[in-house]
Amino acid sequence: MTRDWWKHMVLILGTIIVLAPFYMMVSYSFKSPGEIDRGEGGFFGRQEMMIDPRCVALRQPDRADIEAARARFAGQDDASVQASLLAETEAACSMRPVVFNYSKAFTEAPLVRYLLNGVIVTVSIFLIQIVVALPAAYALAKLKFWGRDAVFGLVLFCLLIPVHAIALPLYIGLAKLGLTNTYAALVVPWTISVFGIFLMRQFFMTVPDDLIDAARMDGMSELAIVWRVMLPTAIPALLAFAIFSVVAHWNDYFWPRIVVTGNRDLFTPPLGLREFKGDGDGSFFGPMMATATVIVTPLIVAFLLAQRRFIEGITLSGMK
């Protein structure tokens, strides 16, 4: 066996380990609770009609329903009328497992609102991060000033600080300003990304100085060079950073759980999934997996669309 064969085997094994949770998530979103519990039905399940027990419980016929239905069931006693109404309720509450799971994903909690909050928060954070990171990275890469190396060393040091270490002082500061339970609390603490500054600085280091000197000879200011010259060349790096930033903040559960406590309208997708879990019983896994699938799908689609540019940005190829 050649060395390449072993490399391929390791890569295949790694791929299986990475994809297995996604396979289970999507598969469970198609199956009925019984199929999930018993571990049967294949990937899509048998899609046999099932009864929604919550729907039946909510539409359980009461005394008023029985009295109103007497005309339709003439000659039957109360027990028979109730049984007939219950049969109609069960028929109305019957559906395919895939329809049950995904309909519950959008009705058990305001999932669309949570997705919208995720878009608002992640896009706002990314745009402000770019506004801060591009000039800072340009200064560290192309401008000569006293203390530049020390500032860059500080950027590298900040990369080592985990968010959990500064969460408490950040929360106290936001609480004193009255910003908890607001979009500002979700966005403002992450508007300065030291990773973004580092990534863009490394990319700008590959841009020829002659291009910048030519822009200066044309009368451009330093800020004009940043936005009219450096920005277009940095599109691959920006897309790479966008993937990192959006994924990190779209999936962030820790910080939103701290600063959003009393307003469900501000819940982000991970918090929405927790709210959905809190409302469900222990065997309500199908709708939970459907919710998780809906939350993950936008990230997968965005990555597939930007995959080529993402790889270019990671390799920091600079100008060609």
Q: How confident is the model at residue 197 (pLDDT cuts 50, 70, 90)?
A: very high
DSSP conformation class of 95: E
pLDDT for the residue numbered 80:
74
What digits encode the pLDDT tens for the residues 45-60?
Answer: 888 888 877 777 777 7
Q: How confident is the model at residue 120 (pLDDT cuts 50, 70, 90)?
A: very high
What digits encode the pLDDT tens for the residues 60-82?
Answer: 777 776 666 666 767 677 677 67
194: exposed, middle or buried (C-beta count within 10 Å: 0-12, 13-18, 19+)? middle
Q: Tokens standing for 140?
A: 């560290």
Contact 251, 270 (CB under 8 A): yes
Q: What percent of the chain has pLDDT above 90?
A: 28
pLDDT for the residue numbered 276:
64
**What distance lies between CA 29 and its chain's CA centroid?**
17
Residue scoring higher pLDDT (125 or 94): 125
- Does position 312 have pLDDT exceeding 70, yes or no? no
- Does position 317 have pLDDT exceeding 50, yes or no? no
- Mean pLDDT for 130-136 is 94
Distance in angstroms (rounded) separating the CA atoms of residues 129 and 248: 13
- Mean pLDDT for 93-105 is 87
- Mean pLDDT for 180-196 is 92
Contact 294, 111 (CB under 8 A): yes
What amino acid is encoded at 130 in this protein? Answer: I
What digits encode the pLDDT tens for the residues 207-244?
Answer: 888 889 888 888 888 889 999 989 988 888 888 898 88
DSSP 3-state percent helix, strand, coil across the chain (nearest 5): 75, 0, 25
Q: How confident is the model at residue 278 (pLDDT cuts 50, 70, 90)?
A: very low
- pTM listed for this prediction: 0.82
Distances (CA, A) of 260 to 57, 155, 181, 196, 263: 32, 29, 5, 26, 6
Contact 199, 234 (CB under 8 A): no
pLDDT for the residue numbered 187:
94
What digits encode the pLDDT tens for the residues 1-34?
Answer: 566 778 888 888 988 998 898 999 999 999 888 8
Q: Which helix (H) or strand (E) holds 156?
A: helix 148-158
> Which of the residue ranges 99-113, 119-133, 228-242 has the most confident prediction, judged by mean pLDDT?
119-133
Distance in angstroms (rounded) separating the CA atoms of residues 175 and 169: 10
Distance in angstroms (rounded) separating the CA atoms of residues 105 and 289: 9
Distance in angstroms (rounded) separating the CA atoms of residues 292 and 313: 29
Strands 50-51 and 94-95: antiparallel
Distance in angstroms (rounded) separating the CA atoms of residues 236 and 84: 65
Contact 29, 289 (CB under 8 A): yes
- Does position 320 have pLDDT exceeding 70, yes or no? no
Distance in angstroms (rounded) separating the CA atoms of residues 52 and 32: 10
Q: What are phi and psi of 98, to 5 degrees?
A: -65, -40
Closest CA to 49 of 100, 88, 96, 98: 96
Q: How confident is the model at residue 316 (pLDDT cuts 50, 70, 90)?
A: low
pLDDT for the residue numbered 87:
77
| 206 three-class SS | coil
- Mean pLDDT for 184-198 is 92
